[in-house]
Amino acid sequence: MIQRVLWANVTVGGEVVGSIGEPGLLVYLGVTHDDGPEDITWTARKIWELRVLRDEKSASDVGAPILVVSQFTLYGDARKGRRPTWLAAAPGAVSEPVYDAVCAELERLGARVARGVFGADMRVESVNDGPVTLILER
């Protein structure tokens, strides 16, 4: 999930661990069981080149920062009962390397990347600009 934001930050244990203090993108990255190397490359390039900033610009066009937060709950399933299941979300041992690889690929493409802390109890603050929020699926 991608949001166009005016600013965003992630706090863990009362300490800001990742922030962007200017317009850019806040990415909530969920990983499922069948995500592979080709998905890493596709996802990073899509985030970097997606024209969702003001004046139909992309982060690559204007050098906008990107804050990436791991978010297994994106694959929660709440269709039955009152308690969601997380069966579609890949376990940490699978998803953490994918999260790290997407961040690294964004950096390789030239992005300024800030990060949350994988698996931590995070507080995310942001001001959505627009609002613009998109869900990317390959």
Catalytic-residue membership of 71: yes
Tell me if residue 17 falls in helix, strand or coil.
Answer: strand
**Which H helix or E strand runs over 76?**
none
Element (H, E) at 125: strand 123-134
Q: Which of 11, 41, 73, 118 is catalytic?
A: 73
Instruction: At 19, list the tokens.
Output: 């922030």
Which residue in the list 3, 11, 43, 72 is annotated as catalytic? 72
Pick the catalytic residue from 3, 11, 43, 71. 71
Q: Is 72 assigned a catalytic role?
A: yes
> Residues 6 or more apart from 66 whose CB is under 8 A from it?
20, 24, 25, 26, 27, 47, 48, 59, 106, 111, 112, 113, 114
CA-CA-CA-CA torsion sign (2, 23, 110, 70)? negative
Catalytic positions: 71-73
